[in-house]
A and B are shown apart, each in its own frame.
Chain A
Amino acid sequence: MTEFKAWLLAENPDSRAQATLGRSYLAWLRFYRNPLAMIGLVIVVALILMALFAPYIAPYGMTSGLTGNELALQRFQPPSAAHWFGTDGQANDVFSRIVIGSRITLLIVAIVIFTAPILGFVIGTVSGYFGGWVDGVLMRLTDIFLAFPKLVLALALAAAMGRGLESAIFAIAVTSWPAYARLARAETLTIRNTDYLAAAKLQGASHWRLITGHIMPLCLSSLIVRVTLDMAGIILTAAGLGFLGLGAQPPIPEWGAMIAEGRDYILSYWWLATFPGLAIFTVALGFNLLGDGLRDVLDPKSGA
């Protein structure tokens, strides 16, 4: 193990892979020494594991399937050994629903991560790199999207496309890319006049190579940090849409929708809204802590 460490930290690595690994290891060390960031990482990893193994973790199904007398007996049970987080009006186990609902939260996060930031990133770097009319057109477009209040546009879209998880995700993605485009463009502007970019041009590098090989790697770290920090907001927006009845529809156990269902009983059956609320809070906090930690690690000014 110590040998491996020495190999990783070698001042004169022998291969490309060793240099890259060594650099990553140093970044990991810095991250590892930051306790809050580690808490964030643990929460996010726990969320992923929970979503992956949801059917094995959840003691009951998504719905109880009970009717009649059974339903009347089992519904609105307070937290107990049998139902850790109690049961709701349909006698569904709240704990199981939260566990299964983590898949939906993760799905939203994953889809948003693979759409909005990537779109914004490409638009921003291209716009900043070429400048001139390309920049003008792309940035006006960005401005238009930026001018809409996020939630209102999401509401309009969700209303237009019909209620449902898909339209909620689409609405979130469409409203969040402009911020990333702005960020990527601002970073690109600070890079586009540097000598190392001029040097790469003088090697005959194409625009495509310059953008993907030279500009993007430098903008990537601030983008990752920003996306991680935004994740909390995205989860909250999704929950908000669910809460307003525009996102996932019952009986899908989306956390926001669960709070909405529990809202009517908040005084008599406190656990219905409280536990999904705590789940949202914990995951949002986790992403925020992770983002802060990543900022310290990935910030180009922090050396390494």
Chain B
Amino acid sequence: MVNQATKAPLLAVNNLNIRFPSVHGAVHAVRDVSFTMGREKVAIVGESGSGKSQTGRAILGLSPGQVSADSLIFDGIDLQRLSSKAYREIRGKRISMVMQDPKYSLNPVMSIGKQMIEACQIQMKVSKKQALARCMQMLEAVRIRQPQRVFKAYPHEVSGGMGQRIMIAMMLLSSPDLLIADEPTSALDVTVQLQILAIMDDLVQDTGMGLILISHDLPLVASFCDRILVMYAGRIVEELDASKLDQAQHPYTRGLLSCLPSHATKGQPLATLERQDSWLDEALENRGLRV
């Protein structure tokens, strides 16, 4: 399962660009994003609208925009060359994504159990009974109390955090090689959050899964991941070792750190971020791309 013989990276993204054409002119949502990763935990952080989710979706071939890249290679497979049928074979089985907004991703008029079993059968081609057992096992793994009840419930009958855990359980059903988790724990209390991250951590350690964790919780990401990519306005402006977050250079990263309420004094307003246009150009200079 683990590809140790070849030292090739699990995922190599080279100059990924995503544009959304519109009557107001094209929106360039992701600009020249390049990174490689092995079977490790990589975090993508950055503000709302900086292109984190779109990057993740593009890897799955699900971006609604115009995607172009010099190369997009997953475990030796050129993703750009895949037929849509071959992509479907990989998606869900080898690459999974936990989408932001769990309640949007679940069908509001179908019970949770039915949706999970359906997903399970599509991904793993098992009997209904095996699927049921596997689903129950995953619901327990993500620490849902009374999985029997939740199994029969409809999406509006579970709390925000339970919805998120259900999505995670669904994506882990088939033990993927690469998991893209888009703010998977933003609605969870801290204890459960850590327990869920621990499950993912186990998968990375034991089965050699690669994990891309999209988040805006900097301290959490710093303590959990191996590397951090900081995105701003569609670009990667900084790439850091997780342990060196406090040594971040880019003013944007430093600004993000100063916004945290845990660093504020009660009664004083929180620092907010003053964005500067020059950050865009600096990002280009740093990577030697400026013409």
A and B touch in the complex (CB under 8 A): yes
Q: How far is the CB of A218 from chain B (nearest CB, A)?
A: 13
Q: Are A193 and B23 in contact, with the CB atoms below 8 A?
A: no
- Enumerate chain A residues within 8 angstroms of B23, measured Cβ to Cβ: 9, 26, 29
B 74-118 to A, binary, CB cutoff 8 A, 1 in contact else 0: 000000000000000000000000000000000011000000000
Q: How far is the CB of A203 from chain B (nearest CB, A)?
A: 20
A26 to B23: give the CA distance in the assembly, Å: 8
Q: Are A189 and B24 in contact, with the CB atoms below 8 A?
A: no
Q: Which of B99-154 contact A (CB under 8 A)?
A: 108-109
Partner of B156 from A11, A26, A29, A193 at Cβ < 8 Å: A193
Instruction: Across the interface, name the chain A residue whose C-beta is closest to B154.
Output: A193
Counting contact residues on chain B (CB < 8 A from A), the size range is under 10
Chain B CB within 8 A of A190 CB:
yes
Q: Which of A7-31 contact B (CB under 8 A)?
A: 9, 11, 26, 29
Instruction: Across the interface, name the chain B residue whose C-beta is closest to A191.
Output: B108
A 183-200 to B, binary, CB cutoff 8 A, 1 in contact else 0: 000100110010000000
Q: Are B24 and A9 in contact, with the CB atoms below 8 A?
A: yes
- Enumerate chain B residues within 8 angstroms of A193, measured Cβ to Cβ: 108, 156
Q: Which of B20-42 contact A (CB under 8 A)?
A: 23-24
Q: Are A190 and B24 in contact, with the CB atoms below 8 A?
A: no
- Enumerate chain B residues within 8 angstroms of A29, measured Cβ to Cβ: 23
A88 to B164: give the CA distance in the assembly, Å: 70
A29 to B21: give the CA distance in the assembly, Å: 14
User: Interface majority SS on A: helix, strand, loop or mixed?
Assistant: helix
- Enumerate chain A residues within 8 angstroms of B109, measured Cβ to Cβ: 186, 189-190
Q: How far is the CB of B157 from chain A (nearest CB, A)?
A: 9
A 158-190 to B, binary, CB cutoff 8 A, 1 in contact else 0: 000000000000000000000000000010011
Counting contact residues on chain A (CB < 8 A from B), the size range is under 10
- Enumerate chain A residues within 8 angstroms of B24, measured Cβ to Cβ: 9, 11
Instruction: Across the interface, name the chain A residue whose C-beta is closest to B157.
Output: A193
Q: How far is the CB of B45 from chain A (nearest CB, A)?
A: 27
Q: Which of A63-115 contact B (CB under 8 A)?
A: none
A29 to B23: give the CA distance in the assembly, Å: 9
Residue among B23, B24, B109 having the largest count of chain A Cβ atoms under 10 Å: B23
Q: Which of B152-199 contact A (CB under 8 A)?
A: 156
- Enumerate chain A residues within 8 angstroms of B108, measured Cβ to Cβ: 189-190, 193
A193 to B156: give the CA distance in the assembly, Å: 7
Instruction: Across the interface, name the chain B residue whose C-beta is closest to A195.
Output: B103
A181 to B130: give the CA distance in the assembly, Å: 38
A149 to B109: give the CA distance in the assembly, Å: 28
Q: How far is the CB of A167 from chain B (nearest CB, A)?
A: 38
A29 to B108: give the CA distance in the assembly, Å: 32
A9 to B25: give the CA distance in the assembly, Å: 11
- Enumerate chain B residues within 8 angstroms of A11, measured Cβ to Cβ: 24
Instruction: Across the interface, name the chain B residue whose C-beta is closest to A186.
Output: B109
Q: How far is the CB of B62 from chain A (nearest CB, A)?
A: 14
A163 to B42: give the CA distance in the assembly, Å: 75
- Enumerate chain A residues within 8 angstroms of B156, measured Cβ to Cβ: 193
Q: How far is the CB of B21 from chain A (nearest CB, A)?
A: 12
Instruction: Across the interface, name the chain A residue whose C-beta is closest to B23.
Output: A9
A154 to B31: give the CA distance in the assembly, Å: 61
A11 to B27: give the CA distance in the assembly, Å: 13
Q: How far is the CB of A195 from chain B (nearest CB, A)?
A: 9
A159 to B109: give the CA distance in the assembly, Å: 41
A29 to B24: give the CA distance in the assembly, Å: 13
A249 to B220: give the CA distance in the assembly, Å: 78
A186 to B24: give the CA distance in the assembly, Å: 35
A189 to B23: give the CA distance in the assembly, Å: 34
Instruction: Across the interface, name the chain B residue whose C-beta is closest to A303.
Output: B64
A193 to B103: give the CA distance in the assembly, Å: 11
Q: How far is the CB of B257 from chain A (nearest CB, A)?
A: 31
Residues on B close to A: CB < 8 A?
23-24, 108-109, 156
Nearest 10 CB-CB pairs, A to B? A193-B156, A190-B108, A189-B109, A9-B23, A190-B109, A11-B24, A9-B24, A26-B23, A193-B108, A29-B23
Q: Give me 9 other A-B pairs in contact (C-beta within 8 A), A26-B23, A189-B109, A190-B108 excluded.
A: A9-B23, A9-B24, A11-B24, A29-B23, A186-B109, A189-B108, A190-B109, A193-B108, A193-B156
Interchain Cβ contacts under 8 Å between A and B, 12 examples: A9-B23, A9-B24, A11-B24, A26-B23, A29-B23, A186-B109, A189-B108, A189-B109, A190-B108, A190-B109, A193-B108, A193-B156
